[in-house]
Structure 1
Amino acid sequence: MKILLCQINPIVGDIEGNTKKIIEIVKSHREAKVLIFPELAICGYPPKDLLFQKDFIAAIDRAIDKIAKEVEDSFVIVGAPTKSHHVSKLFNSAIIFHQGKIEKIIHKTLLPSYDVFDENRYFVPSPAREVVTIEGINFGISICEDIWNINNDENAMYDINVLDELYSKGARVFINLSASPYHYTKLETQRLKVLKDAAIKFGVPVIYVNQVGGNDELIFDGNSTVVSSSGKIKAKANEFEEDIVEVELENIDKMPEIEIHEDISWIKKALVLGIKDYFEKTGAAKKAVVGLSGGIDSSVVCCLAVEALGRENVLGVSMPSRYSSEHSIKDAKILAENLGIEFRVYPIEDVFRAYLRMFNLSETPLQDLAEENIQARIRGNILMFISNRENRLVLTTGNKSELAVGYCTLYGDMAGGLAVISDLPKMLVYELAKYINREREIIPHSVLVKPPSAELRPNQKDTDSLPPYEVLDPILVAYIEDLKSVDEIVQMGYPRELVLKIIRMVERSEYKRRQAAPGLKVTSKAFGTGRRMPIAQRWV
């Protein structure tokens, strides 16, 4: 039995385009017996509150009818929302098409409501688990979260074990339609373990089909996978791109084993895809503008933008002030030359002086926080002027460490349309920069070795306001991503007063993050929809 894993990049809301893509694959692979598409492939994932719009659901119903008419002898399994018994909620379903009609509909049972997921808002769980028989073989079809709850131990999030029920009803091949977003190390440390554990526990092959592509802050890595009954990886679709994988069901155990190793290159691929799809899917702009300070963050963002959009579509802008060092201006220029992008220089001194005359009644600086921030805001205004006039999207360059503790300026360096590295801790930014330079020096070496500085006052360094990033980052990861308590972080070897200071900085900066541009998620816990903290609170 020939089975196709159809790893596609659906656009949320582009029901017509997604349906056309599905039908084209079906038509060009009529020889396959089973074709499997990802979770909610017809409407794209996550559709969020579009699911509350009646016209949206009606368009999905029409798309389902259209797909059914194109299916002949194959069994085509496609994810889509379908109507439920609930007045305002739907089922998250896998629709099985065969010979011009709907053969069966399987509904998702386990609805995640943690991190970036909010499926209970839109869907009701399946009331029962059913096996689907195709040419005498019993398939247990599940949807994304359904496969993650396999052990039923004290840490289980759900009372229902979907795979247990499917196996007890005769399933001898598991199929999982998924829309599982990416974060660094997730594939190796979590997802593959889940798939292997399921295969080994039940002694059946597992066929997992994931979507790929960037949708707002979420990036989907694809990596659709076939696991043998002994828990060996036998086939895998490409990461971060559309792909179709063909397997013969009877030969899965005989196929050679595949090893998968994730490294920093995957973060680069994820961010490039996130930028590319954000531009293509929003359609707001085709070109980008990046403020180049000569620092590590803006250098990395600019490199990623060039790879995602092409050098002809990226503009680098240097906006030196009286506090900008000569080496920073030079480093920005060299980077632009190395990338082959357009580069402009707009000094901000005259505008800064005008502010000093207005508020200081002279051009003598007081060197307080207001003067530091106004420089960042002048730069933000210049970038937004270029954005408006030239229809370029501003890519912000702040990293996760800065955003966490509020070491950033509202309406200044935070101004823009997409925060490319807002989920990348500073030390990981350095690691990514070194990877970018692996074959030749694109980012000037001096950028990688000089002390980080905002250059908003004389001889300023980040360590004037923050602990060294080698100290700050592990504390932030422990608190934000690992959800460790103060005591647990102190037990890692950090002074209690330092830990408390950093945690207070994190929570007191929530109001800034609430106004930030959407950022691309590449860690297990990103700011935004995955971390919903109150602004007005007194817990810390």
Structure 2
Amino acid sequence: MRIAISQINPTVGDLRGNTKLILRDISRAKDRNAQIIIFPELALIGYPPKDLLLKPRVIKQCADLVEHIAQSCTGITAFIGYPIASPKGAGHLLQNAVAVCADGQIQNHHVKTLLPNYDVFDERRYFEPADTPTLTTIDNQNLGISICEDLWNEHDVFERPLYHLNPVDQLVDFGADILINAAASPYVLGKHEFRLNLMRHVARKHHKPIVYCNQVGGNDELVFDGNSCVINASGEIIAHAKDFEEDLLIADLPDKNSENDRLEGRIEQPKTGLNSVYHALTLGLRDYVRKCGFTKIVLGLSGGIDSALTCAIAVDAIGKENVIGIGMPSRYSSDGSVSDAEILASNLGIDFHVIPIEQAHTALESMLTDLFKDTQQGVTEENIQARIRGNVMMSISNKFGALLVTTGNKSEMAVGYCTLYGDMCGGFSVLCDVPKTMVYDLSRWINDSPDSPLLKQYNLPVIPVDTITKPPSAELRPDQKDQDSLPDYEILDEIVERYVEKEQSAAHIIDETDFDKDIVLRMVRLIDLNEYKRRQAAPGLKITGRAFGFGRRMPIAQRYDNRWSVGD
């Protein structure tokens, strides 16, 4: 059986545009003599559609479009993900389904059983689950269709499965010969290696091949890495699509009675480690700009490593001719910071402008002199500079219609080492889920790795060496260094990872590390206190297992104290 896997990049809500992508690949699959073609989960509306699903007109339009697409399904069977009205008399109004389209019409539907309701997923808000699995038979082969999460409940793989049912086991019990999973599985560093191990385990367990089709592209905070693939009944990869770009993968599966289980197809090698993180960030930014209708990016260049890395990614994402850098030196800016920003801009070939803020800084201080008299100078005065810069950047963004991209990293966002209405101003954040230590690692990778697209393009290390080697500083007071206020970033990043991603308590972190107790308690307290800042931050890309944003829903007005224990 020849199977086509359509790894498309849908735009959420763009029903006409997504329909064109689907029809395009149906035509291409026919040209390749494919018998069936698989599309990702909710391919027609894009994932995640969120509360677009609450609009009755959207559901009606989806239904009409799938009927229209089905008319093109002659000589091929297409499996198309979209939301359908639930036939149940109670519960939610919708189901997450895959339509089986053949002979010019919709033949039947497969409905998702497991509805995730954790991290960035909120499917129980909208959907009713399937009651029983169903099969589709083509050329005497029974196809068992599951949808994304349905594959992720293997009791031998997960320490504590989230669901009582295992839909894949049910499909095999019903007589499935081939297991197909239509997915919209977001990128997380290291996740695809886990996916492959999961699919290999399931294939060997049931001695059935698995066909996996994943969405690709960026939709708001989420990046989808593609990496669609086919695993044979022996658990071997026999076909693998590209990652981080659209692809149409063709695979030939043997007949269920065939002894030949080693058919070969095109196998693309997936990116790993920093290479995958870099491409996820680049794709996520490119698609956010494109799908929101922007053509240009503007960002502040301070000579620091965060803005340098963000600028480099922006250039790769949308081209140097579409990136504008702004330097805004103050009385506390070092000569090296200004020159490092200029070197970066020159290396990348972007438009760069210097707008000193001293005049505005002096004027604002003068305006506040009477009110602030008899008070001690401190963070308030430092933040004036950041807020002047924020005002300048928003003005440039408004004037030229360019997306203002912020440059803060996860470490800073965690503990509030950033200024509301200052450096936090902007429409999108590239590094908000990238820890500071990884910022350094990515910058070195861009400069030195043979896999670096920018090193290949420019044939030189684009990020200035001094930017990477000098101590990080906000430069809001004389000789300021980040470590005046924060522990070493290696320590801070591990505390953030343990507390935010792994949900470890402060006491647990203190017991398991040799970190100073007072530092751990202070950092954990800062993470809790600064939820109000993060709630007002620009949306940004998720690359770790737990990002700040809609996947971590913490109260702002709360008094939970990590230092307290029973008996105190």
Quote the residue 1:519 is aligned against.
540
Cα distance 1:259–1:342, how it changes in 2: closer, same or farther (>3 A)?
A: closer
1:83 equivalent in structure 2? 85
> 2 CA distance for matches of 1:260 and 1:240?
9
Given candidates 347, 363, 366, the residue that maps to 2:356 is 347
Q: CA deviation at 1:487?
A: 2.8
Match of 2:99? 95
8 Å Cα contact 2:218/2:287 also seen in 1: yes
Paired AA for residue 345 in structure 1: V
| Displacement after TM superposition at 1:255 (Å) | 2.5
SS at match of 1:70: coil
Q: Give TM-score scaled by structure 1 length.
A: 0.97
Return the alpha-carbon distance in structure 2 between the equivalents of residues 200 and 479 of structure 1. Answer: 37
- C-alpha distance in structure 2 between counterparts of 1:195 and 1:302, whole Å: 37
Q: Quote the offset at 1:360 in angstroms.
A: 2.1
Q: 1:227 aligns with which of 231, 254, 258?
A: 231
- In the alignment, is the contact (CA less than 8 A) between 1:52 and 1:88 conserved in 2? no
| C-alpha displacement of 1:461 | 0.2
Note closer, same or farther for the CA distance 1:421–1:395 as it changes in structure 2 (3 Å cut): same
Which of 551, 554, 559 lines up with 1:530 in the alignment?
A: 551
Deviations 1:367-425 (A, max 9, x none): 41111111000000000000011111100000000000000000000000001100000
| Deviation readout 1:165-216 (Å, 9 max, x if unpaired) | 111111121100000000111111x211211111111111111000000000
Q: Which residue of 1 aligns with 2:48?
A: 46
- Corresponding pairs, count: 538
Q: Equivalent residue of 2:71, what SS?
A: helix
Q: Does 1:216 align with 2:186?
A: no
| Contact 1:110 1:125 (C-alpha < 8 Å) held by counterparts | yes
The one-letter amino acid paired with 2:316 is E
Question: Is the aligned partner of 1:291 residue 2:300?
Answer: yes
Matched, 1:502 2:527: no
Query: Which residue is equivalent to 2:257?
Result: none
Percent identity reads: 49
Counterpart of 1:405 in structure 2 is: 415
Deviations 1:471-515 (CA, angstroms, capped at 9, x unpaired): 111111111111222232111222322211111100100000000
Q: Does the 8 Å contact 1:234/1:258 carry over to 2?
A: no
Report the AA paired with residue 536 of structure 1: A
Counterpart CA distance in 1 for 2:418 and 2:465 is 25
Q: Which residue of 1 aligns with 2:501?
A: 481
Q: What is the identity, as a one-letter code, of the residue corresponding to 1:294?
A: G
C-alpha distance in 2 between matches for 1:22 and 1:472? 46
SS at match of 1:97: strand
Partner amino acid for 1:73? G
**Structure-2 change in CA distance of 1:187 and 1:208 (3 Å):** same
**In the TM superposition, what is the alpha-carbon distance from 1:102 to its structure 2 partner?**
1.2
Match in the other structure for 2:318: 309
Supply the distance in 2 between the matched residues of 1:460 and 1:532 (Cα, whole angstroms). 33
Off by >6 Å, runs of 4+ in structure 1 = 256-259, 362-365
Q: Does 260-269 or 464-473 show the bigger shift?
A: 260-269
The CA deviation at 1:232 is 1.6
2: distance between equivalents of 1:131 and 1:327?
66
What secondary structure does 1:308 align onto?
A: helix
Partner AA of 2:429 in structure 1: A
Counterpart of 1:472 in structure 2 is: 492
Any conservation in 1 of the 2:243–2:270 contact (CA below 8 Å)? no
Q: Counterparts of 2:249 and 2:366 in 1: how far apart (Å)?
A: 66
Is residue 150 of structure 2 the alignment partner of residue 130 of structure 1?
A: no
| Mapped contact 1:289–1:316 kept (Cα < 8 A) | yes
Unaligned runs of 5+ in 2: 255-259, 449-454, 562-568
Change (3 A) 1:258 1:57: closer
| 2:202 alignment partner in structure 1 | 198
Determine whether 1:238 maps to 2:242. Answer: yes
Q: Which residue of 172, 179, 183 corresponds with 2:188? A: 183
Is the counterpart of residue 169 in structure 1 residue 174 in structure 2?
A: yes
Cα distance in 2 for residues equivalent to 1:461 and 1:290: 22
Partner of 1:142: helix, strand, or coil? strand
Give the whole-Å Cα distance in 1 for the aligned partners of 2:401 and 2:220. 20
The Cα shift of 1:361 comes to 4.5
Q: Does 1:147 align with 2:147?
A: no
1:264 to 2:274 alignment: yes
User: What is the match of residue 59 of structure 2?
Assistant: 57
Residue 83 of structure 1 aligns with an amino acid whose one-letter code is A
1:365-384 paired onto structure 2 within 5 Å: 367-384=377-394
Q: CA deviation at 1:40?
A: 0.2
Distance in 1 between the 2:435 and 2:224 partners?
20
CA deviation string 1:125-176 (max 9, x = no partner) = 0011112211101111100000011227761110111111111111121100
Aligned match of 2:452:
none
Q: Could you tell me whether the CA contact under 8 Å between 1:240 and 1:270 is conserved in 2?
A: yes
Query: Alpha-carbon deviation of 1:359?
Result: 1.3
- 1:29-80 CA-to-partner distances (Å, cap 9, x unmatched) read 2221010000000000000000000111111011111111111021100111
